[in-house]
Structure 1
Amino acid sequence: MKIAIACEGNYVSGHFGHCEGFTIYELDKDKILGKSFVENPGHRPGFLPVFLKGLGTNVIIAGGMGETAQQLFNENDIEVIVCAQGLCDDVIEKYIKGELKSSGSICREHEHQGHCND
């Protein structure tokens, strides 16, 4: 299984489409088999879900994401988890332990900032 986390440096990005890149974790049940970084190839409508699917991604984790992007990920059979915050390595550990839950909230412009996990 591959989990992509939208990141800025070592932290989860507030908006997946404008992130620096994606930290991709390869998991086997509860063990991390590998970790790599892929630069964001650019924010274009509908592109990133297809790009990440091509990398074998099963789950995308981000701080925020718009409704259309969430729908496109779902259409590509990629689970979406939004409102994650903190260090990417901490977030993946929460995911592995089953402690990371998506708020399901939708980013409209940048209204989501400061409201995740309230």
Structure 2
Amino acid sequence: MKIAIAADQGRVAQHFGKCREYAVFDVVDGRAGNLSYIPNPGHQPGFLPKYLKGLDVDCIIAGGMGQKALNLFAENNIQAIVGISGEVKQVVEDYVNGKLVPGASLCTHPDGRHHNCDGHC
């Protein structure tokens, strides 16, 4: 299984599409391996789910994303886990140990708008 984490300077990014890079790792026999960082090729509506699928990603972890992005990941058979924050290395450890606790998307705002994420984070 291949996992991608939206990342900014070693921390989980709040907006999956606006992150600087993706921390990508494999999970084999309950262990994480082959951690590498891939630069974000740019945010265009509908592009990133297909791009990550092309990298054989099975799961995306991020602070937040909008419903449109969640639907696009589902259409590409990629599980989306949102509401995550913290250091990437800790999130990797929590994921493989079954301790990662998803929450509400950090990209959702009380007024229903997505500030600073062009409405489609």
* TM-score, normalised via structure 2 length: 0.86
CA displacement at 1:27 relative to structure 2:
1.3
Distance 1:99 1:77 in 2: 23
Q: Which amino acid aligns with 1:43?
A: H
Q: Which residue is equivalent to 2:46?
A: 46
Report runs of 4+ in structure 1 exceeding 2 Å deviation. 101-108
Q: Which residue is equivalent to 1:36?
A: 36
* Structure 1 gap segments, 5+ residues each: 112-118
Contact 1:58–1:79 (Cα < 8 Å) also in 2:
yes
Distance 2:115 2:65 in 1: 9
Tell me the C-alpha RMSD between the 2 structures: 1.5
Q: 1:44 to 1:95 in 2, by over 3 A?
A: same
Contact 1:81–1:104 (Cα < 8 Å) also in 2:
no
* Structure 2 gap segments, 5+ residues each: 117-121
In the TM superposition, 1:1-118 aligns within 5 A as: 1-105=1-105, 107=108, 108-110=113-115
Contact 1:2–1:25 (Cα < 8 Å) also in 2:
yes
Q: Which amino acid aligns with 1:71?
A: N
Distance 1:5 1:82 in 2: 10
Q: Which residue is equivalent to 1:116?
A: none
* TM-score, normalised via structure 1 length: 0.88
Distance 1:59 1:89 in 2: 16
Matched-pair identity in %: 44
* Alignment deviations for residues 44-70 of structure 1 (CA, whole Å, 9 cap, x no partner): 000000000000000000001111001
Aligned residues: 111
* Alignment deviations for residues 59-100 of structure 1 (CA, whole Å, 9 cap, x no partner): 000001111001000110000000111100100111111111
The SS at the match of 2:84 is coil
